[in-house]
Amino acid sequence: MAFPSILPEQPGKIIAVHVAFESRAAQRGRRPRVPSYFLKATSSLAESGGTLARPSGTELLAFEGEIALIIGAPAKDVSLEEAWRHVAFVTASNDVGLYDYRAADKGSNTRSKSRDGYTPIGPRLIDAQAIDPKQLRLRTWVNGELVQEGDTSDAEMIFPLAQFVADLSQHLTLETGDIILTGTPAGSTVIVPGDVVEVEVDVPGESSSGRLSSTVVESTADFDPAIGDLPSVDDKQREDAYGDRAAAGLPPLTSSEPDPESSPELIPELTPELRSKLEAVPTAGLSAELRRRGINQLVIEGVYPQTAGTKMVGIARTLRFLAGREDLFKTHGGGLNAQKQVFDTVRAGEVIVIEARREAESGTLGDILALRAKVRGAAGVVTDGGVRDYSAVKEIGLPVFTQGAHPCVLGRRHVPWDSDVAISCGNATVVPGDVIVGDDDGVIVIPRSIAAEVAEEALAKERQDEWVAQRVESGESLDGLFPPTGDNKQAYEDFLNSGDK
């Protein structure tokens, strides 16, 4: 099969990124700590205007609009700062997958994503050296309706595009013509014969790849069971192909299931430096910085630490309870239910955040669960419900933020339902992977993409407030001092420049 005419030369390999967009990570329920990859066959490449064949007897063909990087000069052990110089072109691509073979592939995606024609690319190239890689926009349409939109800003991307080049070059040589597919935002879903999928990458107002167009068709397929696996689907593959369980027409899960595309070790983490900064700043200061960015619904209302002076910093692991219903509690309340599974699998540095609908008239955890979380290294628990065995939980030493004590068991008010999904805790939305910080003032939620910036700005404001407090203590008026303006502002800048801070 001839390679697409827009490409400068035949690529030796196509490398695809599993998860790179914040919106996709939120949809999947797990945010990768570092990039992970899989290979696609170069024979899967196709021109714009071609067809996407869904083999007869299969049902889960899904599109993924992506930004493709085309390597212009060999890259081996290049730094992050040098990496973008090795990218010659950027264009649109569609990382098409047949989820009917995804389980059989066991993470390799060989049969599900390397079929002929499953990597359409083009139709035009954008000069990578003439653009800012953080100003690209990606959009996908199905039958003329916009279904995906994302950009490569720091707020949207988990990793900058150049990081994929630098990272891969540590392990293999990226040759001229090689292609890197850089992940898809939320919105990917199932397509059927007759659908037309279009993908465009552009720098708004400047340059564009044009719309990459592909039409879905039905094709004949005779898979021989004597030679290899037959296509098959289950609810997990339907959920992932459609994007979520609701879109797939499935009921909510009663427990968390891992994403086959995500390696278990790629759990969200905070760097020691960022954790140290967040521990040094009060939630009041962090809250002010979030509000300055226009994020106001950030406080988990009504929850406070069991032990005064507690500081908690970690990554959100979510758990959701539904309102109590006797028949559902019979089917979902016993055994290793969703609640027990979360406490039994929580990872070091994670904070279990529980949605209990601000209903405090039942315990949402007790001493055994708290002990299990403590042993596994959890950073803490936040619940907008109650805690039973209150004194025993407190003695365990696990940071717990709650409305207060209640002696009754879970089934009185709650049904443990699902986990690792977006929840509402204390009137604040919490997405798995968010940063959770708690102290005596309460608990706040920080979007992971801006956590480092918020921490740094809040630390700077804390230093300024300390300087102001010293001046107030010496008898100065608040006028023009809080915050510093005019001569006071200059005095503070002189203080910073003096090296006495």
Q: Establish whether 444 is an annotated binding residue.
A: no
CB burial of residue 477 (10 Å; 0-12, 13-18, 19+):
exposed
Q: Establish whether 368 is an annotated binding residue.
A: yes
C-alpha span between 238 and 260 (Å, rounded) = 13
C-alpha span between 243 and 246 (Å, rounded) = 9
Q: Residue 271 in 3-state DSSP? A: coil
C-alpha span between 430 and 445 (Å, rounded) = 7
442 dihedral zone (left: phi>0; alpha: psi -120 to 50; beta):
left
How is residue 173 written in tokens?
């040589």
In three-state form (DSSP H/G/I as H, E/B as E, the rest C), the secondary structure along 91-159 is: EEEECCEEHHHHHHHCCCCHHHHCCCCCEEECCCCEEHHHCCCCCCEEEEEECCEEEEEEECCCCCECC
- Strands (E) across 324-465 are located at 350-355, 380-383, 386-387, 400-402, 404-405, 414-419, 423-425, 428-430, 435-439, 442-446
For the chain, first and last CA: distance in Å? 66
C-alpha span between 183 and 162 (Å, rounded) = 13
DSSP character at residue 420: S
Q: Exposure pattern of 480-492 as b/e (b: 16+ CB <10 Å)?
A: ebbebeeebeeeb
Write the CB contacts of 326 (distance below 8 Å, at least 6 apart in sequence).
none
Q: Establish whether 367 is an annotated binding residue.
A: yes
Write the CB contacts of 423 (distance below 8 Å, at least 6 apart in sequence).
318, 319, 320, 353, 354, 355, 429, 430
Q: Establish whether 366 is an annotated binding residue.
A: yes
- Taking the mean position of all CA atoms in its chain, how far away is CA 283? 23
DSSP character at residue 251: P
C-alpha span between 416 and 337 (Å, rounded) = 7
Q: What are the φ/ψ torsions at residue 140 (nearest 5 degrees)?
A: -130, 140
Q: Establish whether 388 is an annotated binding residue.
A: yes
C-alpha span between 40 and 18 (Å, rounded) = 12
DSSP character at residue 363: B
From the list 46, 80, 67, 89, the residue with the least C-alpha distance to 177 is 89
Q: Residue 182 in 3-state DSSP? A: coil
C-alpha span between 153 and 17 (Å, rounded) = 17
Q: Establish whether 320 is an annotated binding residue.
A: no
C-alpha span between 92 and 421 (Å, rounded) = 30
Q: Which residues are annotated as a binding site?
A: 366-369, 388-389
Binding-site residue positions for Mg(2+): 389
**Residue stretches of the annotated binding site for substrate:** 366-369, 388
